Amino acid sequence: MVRTLVLTVDRDNDLGVKAGIRGPVIGRKATLTAALRLGIADPEESDTNAILGALHHHDRLVENAQGNDEIEIALLTGDVRVGPRSDRAIAMQLDEIIQEFQPDSAVLVTDGADDEASLPIITSRVRVDHVEKIIVRQSKGIESTYYYVAKAIDDPRWRAKLLVPVAVFLMIIGLGLIIPGGGALIGAMPLFIGIWLLAKGLGWEQQLERLMIDMRESATGGIWSSLLWGLSIVSVLLAVLTAYQVFTASSTEIDAYVAWLSLADFNVDAVNSDLTVWAIAINEALTWIVVSAFSFALSLGVLRWKEGSFTGRSVLLLGLGIVVYTFAKATLVVILIEMGGADYSLDYQSVSETWGMPVFTIILYYLLRTAVQSVTEEEGVSGENRFWGV
């Protein structure tokens, strides 16, 4: 008795996204139902033809089966984010099918090179006797070419590959025509295109990716973390020394501080107030305090990156630190103006100059947090880590 498994792979999980069916799909009836639901949900989906092709191959093997030979058909689904995540899902589903059916050999039916990328995963677990590619016959001509280009632009996977190079090309031409003497920029465009084609031809992208992986694996996170810890401690010491210089400064030096802050209405005689001196000292030391906090957050981020568990929490902490820094700066300026004997003007120009940057950083922080949450939802992180995770 020979057990033969007919497999088809939906690596980008169109079946789950469009038809709401989770893999693995095992059996002829279940596979036929999946093909019908996917075809009804998207009649133009090529995976439908691949599933029907697998059913055709399954029925043909059943007709030619001898003795007690068993033929089974199964459909594997990956993930929308094609890559390691989809390959892991395919491997887990294949292990489940092998444990249940225990095939002696397999036949793989695909609709293109994207699904054929899963062939090494399949061959590592079961012997593959045949690979069949389903190619849909279409009419030829300009109309059909336009149709394929339009559908490729609508597909998120191909949109970036098609539109980004064209956009960069047009942007370089536009800048070359607008900027004075931009002829050199337009002339350098063939050089950029040649370098890009050379990199694609020599496979530099894979080499660069491999280099980054090797650097991550060989990097000693403790060294960088220690350096950042040292920078954090040094920044705290510099903040203390800067504040000490303000406490021991003379009236002339205080006047220089005030002139650097552009506080023309500040009364230097008001510096006799201890609270005023403290405000100037904090204002001068604030930058070093922020550098110390950033170094501390980055040191923790480096360790998490080395462990492979880096999340968006460090990024959001840095963004929040920038917001706090700009608000603290603006608040200290208002305090110094009030303690210097002048009234803070509430006209539009004064308020915008003082509080414009803090408001702008809040908007940027909101956009950053929204981006982190969006990526978190795409990665399918659990609800507990949805706010921080990337």
Residue type, position 125, single letter: R
The pLDDT of residue 265 is 46
Output the average pLDDT for the chain: 76
Contacts of 214 (CB under 8 A, 6+ apart): none
CA distance 264 to 366: 34
Find the length of the chain.
Answer: 390
Residue 15, Cα to own-chain centre: how many angstroms?
24
- Most confident option among 124-128, 138-142, 210-214: 124-128
pLDDT for position 376:
55
Looking at residues 341-364, what average pLDDT do you find?
Answer: 75
List the Cα angle 79/80/86 in 5-degree steps.
30
Cα 46 → chain centroid:
28
For residues 25 and 219, which has the higher predicted lDDT (pLDDT)? 25
Three-state secondary-structure class, residue 236: helix
Q: Which residues pair with 74 in a beta bridge?
A: 7, 26
Predicted pLDDT of residue 351: 74
Q: Which residue has the higher pLDDT, 206 or 138?
A: 206
- CB neighbourhood size of 389 (10 A): 19
Please say if the pLDDT value at position 333 is more than 60: yes
For residues 180-196, give the mean pLDDT: 77
> What backbone phi and psi angles, to 5 degrees, belong to 381?
-70, 150
Distance CA 145, CA 263 (A): 67
**pLDDT of amino acid 126:** 92
Burial class from Cβ neighbours inside 10 Å (0-12, 13-18, 19+) for residue 91 reads: middle
Residue 89 predicted with pLDDT over 50? yes
What burial letters (b/e) apply to 279-314, b meaning 16+ CB within 10 Å?
bbbbbbbbebbbbbbbbbbbbbbbbebbeeebbbbb
- List of residues 6+ apart from 246 with CB closer than 8 A: 254, 257, 277, 280, 281, 284, 285
More confident residue, 226 or 172: 172
Q: Give the model's pLDDT for residue 271.
A: 47
pLDDT value, residue 59: 92
pLDDT score for 363: 87
pLDDT tens-digit map of 29-47 = 999 999 999 999 988 788 8
| 79 Cβ neighbours under 8 A, 6+ residues apart | 12, 13, 85, 86, 89
Average pLDDT over every residue of 302-314: 62
Mean per-residue pLDDT, 275-283: 71
Look at residue 256 in the predicted model and tell me its pLDDT.
Answer: 60
Q: What is the pLDDT of residues 55-84, one digit of tens each?
A: 999 999 999 888 888 999 999 998 888 888
DSSP 8-state assignment for residue 126: S
Higher pLDDT, 252 or 123: 123
Please check the confidence at residue 383 and state whether its pLDDT lies above 50.
no
Please check whether residue 111 is in contact with residue 50, taking contact to mean a CB–CB distance below 8 angstroms. yes
Name the percent of the chain lying above pLDDT 90: 18
Structure-block tokens of residue 42 = 């998207």
Neighbours of 278 (CB within 10 A): 14
Query: How much is the pLDDT for 56?
Result: 93
pTM for the structure as a whole: 0.42
